[in-house]
Structure 1
């Protein structure tokens, strides 16, 4: 069985992490080296995760309680949780489902006198143009946050030069993963300094915590790199009556719900910084280019037949490959029988409009997310595997005669 996603880390990277768990190194020096490597302007800060950095940012901004932050309607639930913890109001802005992003016009309609910031998430490896949104933010004197957690494309793009804050993740399932850590660029030096001072008060994550994560993902990388090993693991789970989809999903989740803020309010440990430093210095982008080529090939096989949200957005590295189907569970089961591990995913959610603004209910985002599944698509998959997967998918969609009352079928017809 083709596993849904292969972890983008090499055995030498894992070895560096393991050695760093055992041998003391200067954590502060590595941190400064990473930040200088990421930005020569001195505006970068490395954090335990994007969640950790976002929490630090909101604390440092000191926005008035009740301030509104406009957010892409498809987002990670934890980001909403962090906003609410800081007594801010997340306002989801519905999506243009072809690009999986709000438009400047939809953002404009959502702005009120209480709005203080806009946060746009680039999804699935795509990167939508943000210039119109930035212009809108300037017109209304709003902060602009660019969430690039899924949009790493090597070392070329570090966010728009005029974004107030840019966030990149190197968590376990991300491109160029260090199995943890994040980098934020914060243009306001006073806000950045407050973030640094607050982070310095946090305890450092224990080495053994990262060591156990390293071991877990080393096993997952080994198992996921062999179709036969992974297929055997799936059969064992079925025999034991276990939901392997949930097991994999839980294993890839960064932070448990219990003691959430205690867990994210940590400094990155020396081993994760050592791995991140190596990843940034040695990442050559070849795998990303190959993955993007695989994504374009698969999108071509499905074009005009199955909606592939954001697949026509340029640039795109196809970090994941989502499609929209009428019967997600049935299609996932059929693809599993054919040897392809797919999932509906559990992390993205559409959010809820404020009670006094029901017109902002993100209907399109909620609908597309409820029908979305993720296909395996990475450099190790040859043409014939992708072609066979596409045939199974198209056959299932034809049999179920999937319909879409919101016009999602038009996603596949973007020129």
Structure 2
């Protein structure tokens, strides 16, 4: 049997060649673009038209972290105020809280539902608590109504980090030909239908979306904040208007970098011969690729972080965001989900292999993570069969590890603040090349090899106990 597994990576860019041609054209013809205000209005009006609830305000951003930093800047919380955060997030979100002289209070998650326990959150709330931040991860989405009720009761801000959750707009509000139904869609709830997309809870004070390089519907940068409180929106937008606009040349540099990586991640005819050379020379190619996809390959200094975040998106980026929303092919998302469930349904449920968030209300698949008992060994064995499993695909990390490595600890990590489930996830997760571009015959090969590997490791584990 011919081995095609080398032709597919565990990450890909959700963009086509014609989209690169569009953004290169927008950058080249920047002077012909509409004014900054008109581009902003086009984008916000598009999202207003696609949403069920009209009492929201939209703010286009450079990235999710820009929106979170804006929220912290306008509120000027007293030093040592506490922000409760679900235990899995990217390091720079925690770093932002610490740079504002605030305390991060981690809250563990359930690996099957990805929920955080409401009673545990109640125990974590103190007189210093000012906000709860919940990150919807891996495209799996949780109903946060209970958490919101608690936040409103305690007069706390509630922020949803939906950086990994975008899966299109609800079709009953967007009036298009898709069959997407939002988790909180009144029609879906009335008909008791399965949800297929997630736009954040309508009562969340802020919902943050990302369209960075590895996200669905990527614009190779950019994000959006949906804000439910007008006064908060006004403060954030007025402050943001004072920030400088991103240098178009910097965005152009990033786009060119991603264009080269597109060929290394998305095009099988390029990947397969390249992988032959990489394996021959025993190179760590994924570390090279992932570092170039990230804004920072190591934790940044405060000045470096703020310099990169406190920028408004340039006009070509705003125009490209609008173009992507108008022309995006949502069939990619359906194919991604179909392929993911095909693999899940054919992988054997044994003790050495576990799925994440399979009891969430909404199961979409941004990346394909699995938990295995011996991740380094698992990756090594799969690599021998030319399967590109990888452990460091995403920046997601468990908050407690970062806090213990930092000088600015919120509190001692006692039993109330330990996050064993989240730590287990980060210590045991690997990412498989399962996505919308991988054909079924390749997935069949992958399933067979992963099943055999899991069984071999389980048998070894059982023998070692005897």
Same fold (TM over 0.5): yes
Q: Using the alignment, how far apart are the partners of 2:117 and 2:102 within structure 1?
A: 22
Residues 1:363 and 2:430 aligned together: no
- Alignment partner, residue 321 of structure 1: 368
Residues 1:289 and 2:334 aligned together: yes
- Aligned partner of residue 335 in structure 1, secondary structure: helix
Residues 1:142 and 2:156 aligned together: yes
CA contact (8 A) 1:16 1:274 kept: no
CA shift, 1:390, in A, is: 2.0
- Alignment partner, residue 171 of structure 1: 212
Alignment of structure 1 residues 202-217 onto 2, 5 Å: 202-217=243-258
1:307 pairs with one of 328, 334, 354:
354
Residues 1:9 and 2:65 aligned together: no
- Alignment partner, residue 380 of structure 2: 333
Give the number of aligned pairs.
404
CA contact (8 A) 1:172 1:254 kept: no
Q: Using the alignment, how far apart are the partners of 2:348 and 2:207 within structure 1?
A: 32
- Alignment partner, residue 407 of structure 1: none
Residues 1:383 and 2:440 aligned together: yes
C-alpha offsets along residues 269-313 of structure 1, whole Å, 9 cap, x if unaligned? 112111110111222421111111111111112252321111342
- Alignment partner, residue 88 of structure 1: 102
Alignment of structure 1 residues 217-366 onto 2, 5 Å: 217-239=258-280, 242-255=283-296, 257=300, 259-302=304-347, 304-305=349-350, 306-345=353-392, 347-352=395-400, 354-359=410-415, 360-366=417-423
CA contact (8 A) 1:69 1:119 kept: yes
Alignment of structure 1 residues 12-91 onto 2, 5 Å: 12-23=18-29, 24=31, 25=33, 26-39=35-48, 41=55, 43-91=57-105
- Alignment partner, residue 147 of structure 2: 133
- Alignment partner, residue 106 of structure 1: 120
CA shift, 1:382, in A, is: 2.3
CA contact (8 A) 2:347 2:447 kept: yes
Bigger mean CA offset, 135-144 vs 240-249:
240-249
1:121 pairs with one of 135, 153, 156:
135
Q: Using the alignment, how far apart are the partners of 2:354 and 2:460 within structure 1?
A: 11
TM-score, normalised on structure 1? 0.92
Runs of 4+ in 1 over 6 A off after TM superposition: none
Q: Using the alignment, how far apart are the partners of 1:304 and 1:242 within structure 2?
A: 33
Q: Using the alignment, how far apart are the partners of 1:388 and 1:102 within structure 2?
A: 36
Q: Using the alignment, how far apart are the partners of 2:222 and 2:449 within structure 1?
A: 38
CA shift, 1:150, in A, is: 0.3
Gaps of 5+ in 2: 1-5, 49-53, 171-197, 404-409, 462-466
1:392 pairs with one of 449, 455, 460:
449
CA contact (8 A) 2:55 2:228 kept: no
CA shift, 1:338, in A, is: 2.1
Root mean square deviation, CA, Å: 2.0
Q: Using the alignment, how far apart are the partners of 1:399 and 1:241 within structure 2?
A: 25
CA contact (8 A) 1:255 1:263 kept: no
Larger Rg over CA atoms: 2
CA contact (8 A) 1:237 1:244 kept: yes
